[in-house]
């Protein structure tokens, strides 16, 4: 009797997972993925790409689209530059965050702002490949024919207050992130698509320079 | 300031069209700076929703100005969830949206060649300040019973359009200012 309940439970959870992300199945053993992922990202010294962002405000039925350029260099340097329809530059370098919007410049020490620090770490983790080791989240990994989907559920209290989950799509060909989707509790979401990626090109220090 | 006779209906032509607009927004308060996008949208039930969301991730707040002069907070991040801050932002937006005018006891004052069109609120007074012949809106102002607490200026955007930019400055809270610059978002590709 107990066995059949367990089996029914297993089957139910299998179907629920399958229904959650059409085309994807839950990986029962994440270790193989982790190993391949760690090996592949060990060779990624830098990434340059364009990005397209869609922010959907569900209650307002409002979609805001923006585009820009993205740079990453191992281990903790990121520059995200929004170009259209507004100018906004965010540089993460070491423990520091630099923000420039229009003519205004703002330096933030990530260590002094916990949420910024955690959001900062999500970005670094997603492209640098260490998101599965982040204690602020628990993760599940799904697989389709061309991609892995890493689902991160926040465990840290302040992130739980903002996000339901954060999903990262990883290309099976080169194990780089092609999409980061942040789902808020309100039903709003922000999806960043990375396009035209160039791996391991030399990126000048000045790109990540915090004045 | 002296009381003068004036007609409140002349103000209607200055009412900004804020039924659907997105502003790049900066908020500075006591040395802290946050930026993001402010979305103002009139909903099918005639309420006006104002959402302030950051460029990349989450929303700071989601306010609803109900048709019957009511107000609802749908969401606000814990760091901003302070009663005084929410009340201040509510009053600021009510001034910009020309709310609570018809049920207010209108009067007007003259000072330095300008007409202060006054609309008493539950707390304090909202002023729409025009030239003496009401041909131009100079500024908007909120005041307590004793002194001005906040001023707002709108720039650009002729009739039927949302202003190109809006600047808000508070006097009672030092260095609390809000700057809005209109953006046009590209269509989905």
Output the CA–CA distances (angstroms, integers) from residue A20 to A14, A24, A162, B2, B32, in the order listed.
10, 8, 21, 67, 40
B189 pLDDT more than 50: no
**Pairwise CB contact (< 8 Å): A161 & B77:** yes
Task: Write the DSSP assignment of B25-55 as a string of letters.
Answer: EEEEETTEEEEEEEEEEE-TTS-EEEEEE-S
Provide the shortest C-alpha distance from residue A172 to chain B (in Å): 25
Asked if A164 is an interface residue toward chain B (Cβ–Cβ < 8 A), one would say: no
pLDDT tens string B28-51: 887 777 889 999 999 999 999 999
Question: Could you tell me how many CB contacts below 8 A there are between chain A and chain B?
Answer: 87
pLDDT bucket at A105, cuts 50 / 70 / 90? confident
Give the chain B residue whose CA is nearest to the CA of A118: B57
A98 pLDDT more than 90: no
pLDDT tens string B10-25: 998 899 889 999 999 9
> Between these two residues, A99 and A7, which has the higher pLDDT value?
A99
Dist CA A37 CA A28 (whole Å): 16
A208 DSSP assignment: G
Tokens 């903790």 locate to A76
Q: Which CATH superfamily is domain A23-208 in?
A: Lipoprotein localisation LolA/LolB/LppX (2.50.20.10)
Residues of B with a Cβ under 8 Å from any A Cβ are 22, 24, 26, 33, 35, 37, 39, 41, 43, 49, 51, 53, 55-59, 62, 74-75, 77-79, 181, 183-189
Interface of A with B in 81-120 (CB under 8 A): 82, 84-86, 88, 90, 99, 101-102, 104, 106, 115, 119
Residue A107: per-residue pLDDT: 66
Give the chain B residue whose CA is nearest to the CA of A116: B57
The answer to whether the CB of B51 falls within 8 A of the CB of B38 is yes
pLDDT bucket at B186, cuts 50 / 70 / 90? very low
Q: What is this model's ipTM?
A: 0.82
Give the chain B residue whose CA is nearest to the CA of A103: B26
E strands, chain A, where? 25-26, 46-57, 62-73, 77-84, 88-93, 96-101, 104-109, 137-143, 147-154, 163-171, 177-184, 189-199
Is residue A101 helix, strand or coil?
Answer: strand
**Pairwise CB contact (< 8 Å): B56 & A184:** no
pTM, full prediction: 0.86
- List the domain boundaries for chain B: 2-183
Contacts of B39 in chain A (CB under 8 A): 57, 60, 62, 64
The answer to whether the CB of A98 falls within 8 A of the CB of A107 is yes
Task: Write the DSSP assignment of chain B as a string of letters.
Answer: -EEE---GGGGGGG----SEEEEEEEEEETTEEEEEEEEEEE-TTS-EEEEEE-SSS-EEEEEEE-TTS-EEEEEE-GGG--HHHHHHHHHHHHHHTT-S-TTS--EEEEETTEEEEEEE-SSSEEEEEEETTSSSEEEEEEE-SSSEEEEEEEES--TTS--SEEEEEESSSTT-EEEEEEE-PPPP-
**Pairwise CB contact (< 8 Å): A59 & B74:** yes
Residue A19: per-residue pLDDT: 59
**Pairwise CB contact (< 8 Å): A65 & B59:** no
Q: Which residues pair with B153 in a beta bridge?
A: B167
- List the domain boundaries for chain A: 23-208
State both tokens at B35: 């930026």
The chain-wide mean pLDDT, for chain B, equals: 89
Task: Of A209, A207, A169, A175, give the one whose Cα is nearest residue A191.
Answer: A169
**Pairwise CB contact (< 8 Å): A86 & B33:** no
Residue B188: per-residue pLDDT: 38
Is residue A116 helix, strand or coil?
Answer: helix
Provide the shortest C-alpha distance from residue A126 to chain B (in Å): 14
Tokens 């209650």 locate to A59
**Pairwise CB contact (< 8 Å): A66 & B59:** no
pLDDT tens string B55-83: 887 889 999 999 988 999 999 988 889 99
Give the chain A residue whose CA is nearest to the CA of B181: A86
φ, ψ (nearest 5 deg) of residue A26: -75, 135
**Pairwise CB contact (< 8 Å): B189 & A52:** yes
Considering only CB atoms, B26 lies closest to which of A67, A101, A162, namely A101
Q: Which CATH number fits domain B2-183: 3.30.1380, 2.50.20, 3.30.1490, 2.40.128?
A: 2.50.20
Give the chain B residue whose CA is nearest to the CA of A119: B57
The CA dihedral of A137, A164, A194, B41, to the nearest 10 degrees, is -150
pLDDT tens string B85-127: 999 999 999 999 999 888 789 999 999 999 999 999 988 999 9
Contacts of B79 in chain A (CB under 8 A): 115
A35 pLDDT more than 70: yes
């Amino acid at each position: 009797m107990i066995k059949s309940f367990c089996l029914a439970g297993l089957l139910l959870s299998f179907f629920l997972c399958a229904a959650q992300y059409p085309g994807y199945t839950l990986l029962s053993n994440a270790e193989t993925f982790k190993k391949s992922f760690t090996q592949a990202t060990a060779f990624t010294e830098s990434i340059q790409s364009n990005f397209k962002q869609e922010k959907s405000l569900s209650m307002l039925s409002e979609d805001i689209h923006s585009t820009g350029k993205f740079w990453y260099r191992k281990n903790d340097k990121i520059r995200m530059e929004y170009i259209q329809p507004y100018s906004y530059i965010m540089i993460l370098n070491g423990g520091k965050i630099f923000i420039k919007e229009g003519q205004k410049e703002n330096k933030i020490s990530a260590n002094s702002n916990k949420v910024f620090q955690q959001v900062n770490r999500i970005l670094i983790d997603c492209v640098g490949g260490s998101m599965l080791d982040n204690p602020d989240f628990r993760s599940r990994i799904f697989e389709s024919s061309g991609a892995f989907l890493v689902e991160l559920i926040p465990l840290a209290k302040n992130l739980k207050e903002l996000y339901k989950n954060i999903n990262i799509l990883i290309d099976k060909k080169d194990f780089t992130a092609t999409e980061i989707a942040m789902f808020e509790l309100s039903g709003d979401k922000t999806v960043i698509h990375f396009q035209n990626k160039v791996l391991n090109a030399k990126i000048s220090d000045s790109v990540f320079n915090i004045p | 300031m002296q009381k003068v006779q004036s007609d409140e209906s002349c103000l209607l032509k200055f009412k900004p069209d804020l039924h659907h607009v997105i502003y790049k927004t900066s908020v500075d308060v006591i040395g802290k700076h946050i930026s993001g996008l402010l979305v103002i949208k009139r909903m099918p039930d005639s309420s006006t929703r104002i959402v302030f969301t950051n460029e990349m991730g989450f929303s700071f707040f989601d306010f609803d100005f109900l048709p019957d002069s009511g107000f609802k907070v749908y969401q606000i991040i814990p760091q901003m969830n302070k009663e005084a801050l929410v009340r201040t932002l509510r009053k600021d937006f009510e001034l910009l949206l020309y709310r609570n005018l018809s049920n207010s006891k209108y009067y007007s004052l003259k000072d330095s060649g300008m007409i202060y069109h006054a609309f008493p609120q539950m707390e304090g007074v909202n002023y729409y300040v025009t030239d003496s012949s009401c041909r131009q809106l100079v500024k908007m102002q909120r005041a307590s019973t004793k002194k001005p607490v906040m001023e707002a200026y709108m720039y650009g955007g002729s009739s039927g359009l949302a202003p190109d930019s809006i600047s808000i400055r508070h006097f009672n809270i030092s260095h609390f200012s809000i700057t809005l610059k209109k953006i046009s978002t590209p269509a989905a590709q």
